Chain A
Amino acid sequence: MIELFLIFIGAALVNNFILARFLGICPFIGVSRQIDTSLGLGIATTFVMTLSGILAWFMQEFILVPFNLPFMQYVFFILAISSIVQFVEMALRKMFPTLYEALGIFLPLITTNCAILGLALLIPLNEYGLIQSVFFGFGAGVGFTLAIVLMAGIRERLLFADVPKPLQGASITLITAGVMAMAFSGFLGLI
C-alpha cells in the first residue's frame, strides 16, 4: 500500500511530468490561458493516461514479450494510444454527452501529447505490475493537471502585468514555468 502511495506521489509531485520530466510541454504552453479550459484538458488527459497505462501494461505483457517483438513497441503503443483516444471520444459521446461537450475539443489533441506515449514507455522501463501501472498513470495525470491549472492561474494574473513586448506570449510563459520548476524541485527530497 505504501509502495503504491509512493508511486502516486512520485509521479504527481517529485517527478512531475511537465516540470521535472519535460513531457507534455506543448499543451502546457498552448492551452493554459484560462483555468476552466486547462482543468478540462487536465481531466481528459488524466482519464486517457490512466487507461493507456493499463493498456500499455497488457500489450507489453501479453503481446510484445510473448511474441518477442520489442522492435514493434513504438508502433504498437502509438497506435494503441490513437485508437484509445478515438474510442474514449465515441464512448463519451454515447454515454456522457455533457462530459463529451466539455472535453470534446481536447480529446483529439491528446494523441500527440508526448506525456501519454512517455507514460506508456516508462511502464515497461520501470517494470511496474498492473496495479502499479494504474497508480502511476493516475498520479502522472494528477501532476499534469496540477501544473497546467497552476500555470493558468498565474497567466490569468499576468494579463494585468506590464510585460515587455518581445517577452509576451510563449517566452514569459516559459520563464514563469522556470520559476515553477524551481518551486517543484523542493519536492526532490520527499521520497
Chain B
Amino acid sequence: MVRMWTDLLRGLWGEHPIFRLVLGMCPALAVTNTAINGMTMGLATTFVLVTSGTIISLLKHFIPQRVRIPSYIVIIATFVTAADYTLNAFWHDIHGVLGLFVPLIIVNCLILGRAEAFSSKNTVKRTIFDSLGYGIGFTWGLVLLGVIREVLGFGSIFGMQVMPDTFYNWTIMVLPSGAFLTLGVLLGLYNMLIQRAESKNKVLHTVKTASEGAFTDESVY
C-alpha cells in the first residue's frame, strides 16, 4: 500500500512531468490560453495515460521486445481516437478549440515514456496509480498555466470575471510569446523551490553527519 502511494505521489510533485521532466511541452504551451482548455487537455491526457498503461501492463508478456514501441504507439493511438470522438460528441466547443492537439496526445513523450519505463515492467495495480499520479500532475500544471494566462490575458478565471474593469488586459499573454514566457518563469520558480529544499536538506544532512561523527569520535576514546 505504501508503495502505491509513492507511485501516485511521484508524478504530482517530485517528478512533475512539465516542471521537472520538461515533457509534453507542446500541449502545455498551445492549449493553456484559458484554464478550462488546459483542464480538458489534462484530463484527456490522464484518460489516455491510465487506459493505455493498463492495457500495456496487461499485455507485457505478449508483446515481443523488438516491436514494442510500434505496439505501444498503436495502443495509445486507439485510446486517443476514442478520447477524440468522445470529446467531439459531448464537449463539441472545447474540442473545436483544442483541435489538432487532441490527436497529438499520441506523440506526447510523457505517455510513451511511462509505457516504456513503468507500465511495461510493473503490475496493473501499480501502473494505474503511477499513471494517475503523472496524469493529475500534468493536469494541475496545465491548469496553473491556464489560470495565470487567463487572469492576465482576459481578466477572468474559468470564464468568470475576477479583475476590476479598470484592469487593462495583457494581450501578450494570449499570444504564443506569452505562453513561452509564462512557462519559462514557472520553470524557474519550480527550480528555485526544489533547489532551496535540496540545500536545506544538505545543511541538515551535514549537521547530522557532523554530530554523528563527533559522537563516534567520542565513543572511540
- Report if A and B associate in a common complex: yes
Given A25-B26, A166-B191, are A171 and B184 also a contact pair (CB < 8 Å)? yes
Contact A171 B188 (CB under 8 A): yes
For A9-44 the 0/1 string (1 means CB < 8 A from B) is: 000000000011111111001000000000000000
Total contacts A-B at CB 8 Å: 117
| Complex CA–CA separation, A180 to B70 (angstroms) | 35
Q: Which 5 A-B pairs have the closest CB atoms?
A: A178-B180, A174-B184, A175-B184, A22-B30, A178-B181
B residues with CB within 8 A of A:
22-23, 25-26, 29-30, 69-70, 73-74, 77-78, 80-81, 84-85, 100, 103-104, 106-109, 112, 172, 175-181, 183-185, 187-189, 191-192, 195
A contacts with B: majority SS: helix
A residues with CB within 8 A of B:
19-26, 29, 71-75, 78-79, 82, 112-114, 117-118, 121-122, 125, 164-175, 177-179, 181-182, 185
Given A22-B26, A26-B26, A79-B74, are A175 and B107 also a contact pair (CB < 8 Å)? no
Contact A113 B107 (CB under 8 A): yes
Chain B residues whose CB sits within 8 angstroms of the CB of A167 once the complex forms: 184, 188, 191
Which single member of B30, B74, B107, B184 contacts A75 (CB below 8 Å)? B74
Q: How near does chain B come to A177, taking the closest CB pair, in angstroms?
A: 4
Q: How near does chain A come to B118, taking the closest CB pair, in angstroms?
A: 17
